[in-house]
Structure 1
C-alpha cells in the first residue's frame, strides 16, 4: 500500500514537471516571437504550424486567426499566431526566420512586398518547410499555394460600385493602408482601372494610413482641408473607412460617398447609420480556416490548388438584413 502511494506521488510529480516544462517552453517561444498566441491545449498534435500576420492586434487578422484556430483544433494541429504588434516588415521577416529555426511543419504568412518576401519564402521552401501565402500572394516565389482575396478584383468592384451609385462630377480621395504592401497597391490599381474611362470621376489624392484608424482620420481631415472639392472616399484597409467616417461625420459632410473595406463591427454600424455607403466584404475567417486545412492536405501528400480565391462582395445597408454572405466581425 505504501509502495502504491509512493508510486502515485511520483507520477504526480512527473506530470507536474511535464506540464511546467511545456508552459516554460511556450513562454520562451512567446518571448522569442514577441506577440504570440498558441493553442497549446491540443493534445498529441499531428503537426505544428505558424501563422504570421501583418500585425497581430488588428481586428481583421484576429478573424483570420479565429478561423485558423478552429481548423487547427479540428485537425489536431498546434498553431502559433505570431508577428509584429504593429505593421513592420523587418520584424515580420525576422519572425518567419525564427519560425523556420524552430523546425515547424508549415508556415502560413502574408507577403507584404515583391522585393524582400520572395527570396525568404524561397529559402524556407529550400529548407523543406512548406509555405502557404494568405491574404496577399507572393506570385514570384516558390510558395506552394495562395488562399485569400483577389485584391485587384476587390478594388475593381469598389470602383464599379462608385460609378453605379454616383452621378455628376466625383472627386475621389483614396486612403490606403500601406504604400509598400502588395495587397493595398493591387486594390488601388483595381479601383483606378474601374474608373479610368469615367471622365466625370477624378482621383485627386492618395494618402497612407499605416494601417491605423487614427492616421486614416488625420489623413481624411487633411485631404478635406487641401481638397474641399472631394465628395467621395475609398479606404483600402479595414480601419481606413472607419477613420474616414469619423471625420466626415464630425464635419457634417453627409454628402460625401464612402466605400470602405471589410466588415468590422464599427464599419457595419456606420453603414447602418448611412455614413459609410458600401464596403468590400472579404472572408478572413474562411481564409484562416482554409489555410490550415490546405496545409494539412499538403502534408498528407494530397495535391492542392495553387490559387484559392475566397469570395469578395460589396455590402450595403440593404444587404445587412438579407442572406448575403458577410465576412463577420471580431465580436461574432
Structure 2
C-alpha cells in the first residue's frame, strides 16, 4: 500500500502541475489553445461518456487544459447520461464524417457497439477510461482496473483481518471495466485472507446499491467487508449498513470528491482513486502524437492510489484544485 501511495504522489504532482498552468472550466463545445509552439493545425475530437457527472468533469478539465497548453483545437462532447448509447453512437458517426478532425478520442459506453460504428475509418482512434476491442485502435489511456482494484482489496483485507467475509457490488454485469475491478478486488481480498461470498450488481446507482445491501445483510449477518465498483454504490451500501447497525469495512472506486469526503467522515473506509484529469490530458497528448504519425504506446496507464483517512484531506484538496475550486 505504501508503494501505491508513493507512486500516486508523482501522478498527483503531474496533474497539479498541469492544472496550475491554466486548466479551464469543463464543458461541451470547441476549445482551442494558442500556446507558443503549439500544433495549431491539429484538431482532435473527444467524446466522453457524459459531461453531467463529477467524475467526467475531471476528465473534461484535463482535456481542456491540454487543449490550451498544447495549442490544439479540441471538440469536446459527451452524452446526456451513461445509458444514452444511441446518442453517443450518433456523436461518433458525426465526428467520423468531419474531415477537419485529425484524431478521435472516445470513452465508449458500449465498447462492442462503438467498434461497429467505427468500422474501417482511417482516423486514428484512441480510447480513454474504458477500452474497446477495436483492432485498429492507437491506444487506451486509463487505469489498469484490475491492478488498481487489487490494491484496494489488499487495503480492505488489512483493515478487516484474516477470516472475514466480503460482498462485491458491481456495476453492470458483463461490463469490461466492472468485471476487471471485480477480479482485482477479489484477488486483493483473497491475498489477505478475506473471501468474497456474495456478488450483487447495482448498475452503478447508489439507491439500488442501498437496496441490494439491505437484502445482503439480511441473509449474511456476519459480513464484514463490502467492495463496490464506484463511490456512489459504496455510499449507498454504507447507508444500508448504518441503518442496519452494522460496522463494515467499505471500499469504493473512482476517488471523486464525494467519495473522498465519505472517507474523511468515516462513512466508508477507503476508495481507489483514479486520475481522470490525467486521463483527459494524456489522451489529448496521445491524439496529437497519433495525428502527427508518431509512435504512441498501446496502453498509457494513468495510475491509481488507495485513499484512506491518512491521505484523504490532501487528495481532496488536489481534486478541488483540478476543477479550479482550490
The interval holding the TM-score normalised by the smaller chain is 0.7 to 0.9
Q: Distance in 2 between matches of 1:55 and 1:171?
A: 35
Answering whether residue 310 of structure 2 is matched by residue 318 of structure 1, we say yes
Match of 2:67 in 1: 72
**Partner residue of 1:83?**
78
Whole-angstrom CA distance in 1 between matches of 2:248 and 2:259? 16
> Which moved further from structure 2: 47-56 or 302-311?
47-56
1:235-254 correspondence to structure 2 within 5 Å: 235-253=228-246
List gaps (5 residues or longer) in structure 1.
Answer: 1-35
1:43-122 correspondence to structure 2 within 5 Å: 45-88=40-83, 89-103=85-99, 104-112=101-109, 115-121=112-118
Residue aligning to 1:228: 221
Farther-moved stretch of structure 1 (81-90 vs 265-274): 81-90
Cα offset, 1:133, TM superposition: 0.7
Q: Which has the higher contact order (CA 8 A, sep 6+)?
A: 2
Quote the RMSD (CA, aligned, Å): 2.7
Aligned partner of 1:29 in structure 2 is none
Match of 2:144 among 147, 150, 156: 150
Q: How many residues are aligned here?
A: 291
Aligned counterparts of 2:123 and 2:209: Cα–Cα separation in 1: 37
Give the deviation of 1:303 after TM superposition. Answer: 1.6
> Which residue is 2:273 aligned to?
281
Taking a change above 3 Å as real, the CA distance of residues 219 and 51 of structure 1, as seen in their structure-2 partners, is farther
What is the aligned counterpart of 2:200 among 203, 206, 212? 206
Does structure 1 conserve the Cα–Cα contact (< 8 Å) formed by 2:231 and 2:271?
Answer: no
SS at match of 1:156: helix
Secondary structure of the residue aligned to 2:211 is helix
Q: Unaligned regions of 5+ residues in structure 2, if any?
A: 1-26
1:163 aligned residue (153, 157, 168)? 157
Task: Give yes or no for contact 1:173–1:234 (8 Å, CA) kept in 2.
Answer: yes
Q: Which has the larger radius of gyration?
A: 1
Q: TM-score, normalised by structure 2?
A: 0.79
Deviation, 1:135, is: 1.0
**Is the partner of 2:311 in helix, strand or coil?**
helix
Pairwise CA distance, 1:238: 3.6
Residue 118 and residue 41 in structure 1: after superposition, are their counterparts in 2 closer, same or farther (change >3 A)? closer
Distance 1:188 1:281, change over 3 A: same
Pick which of 302-311 and 158-167 moved more: 158-167
| Aligned counterparts of 2:214 and 2:63: Cα–Cα separation in 1 | 37
* Contact in 2 for aligned 1:118/1:142 (Cα 8 Å): no
Q: Quote the offset at 1:204 in angstroms.
A: 1.3
Counterpart-to-counterpart distance in 1, 2:96 and 2:176: 23
Match of 1:136 among 114, 130, 133: 130
